[in-house]
Copies of this chain bind each other. A is one copy, B any other.
Amino acid sequence: MPELPFTLDQLRILKAIAAQGSFKKAADLLYVTQPAVSLQIQNLEKQLEITIFDRGGRKALLTEAGRLLLEYCERILNQCDEACKAIEDLNSLKGGTLIIGASQTTGTYLMPRMIGLFRQKYPDVSVQLQVHSTRRTGWSVANGQIDLGIIGGQLPGDLENLLQVIPYATDELALVLHYKHPLSNKKELLKEDLYKLNFVTLDSQSTTRKVVDKLLQDSGLDIQRLKIEMELNSLEAIKNAVQSGLGASFLPVVSIERELAAGTIHKAFVADLEVKRELKLITNPSRYTSRASEVFKKNILPQFASLESPLRQL
Contact = CB atoms under 8 A, between A and B. Distances in A.
Interface of A: 1-2, 4-9, 12, 16, 29-30, 48-51, 53-54, 56-57, 61, 63-65, 68-69, 72-73, 75-76, 79-80, 82-84, 86-87, 90-91, 95-97, 143-144, 284, 286-288, 290
A287 B55 CA distance: 8
A286 B56 contact: yes
- Which 7 pairs show the lowest CB-CB distances between chains A and B? A72-B83, A51-B288, A63-B288, A54-B288, A76-B79, A56-B286, A56-B287
Nearest to A76: B79
Contact of A91 (B8, B9, B49, B87): B49
A87 B61 contact: no
Give the copy number.
2
A4 B80 contact: yes
7 contacts: A1-B30, A6-B8, A6-B80, A63-B288, A65-B90, A65-B290, A72-B80
B86 A54 contact: no
A143 B54 CA distance: 10
Given A50-B90, A72-B82, 18 more contacts: A1-B12, A1-B29, A1-B30, A2-B84, A4-B9, A4-B12, A7-B9, A50-B91, A53-B288, A54-B287, A56-B144, A64-B97, A64-B290, A65-B290, A68-B95, A69-B87, A76-B76, A79-B79
Contacts of A83: 69, 72-73, 76
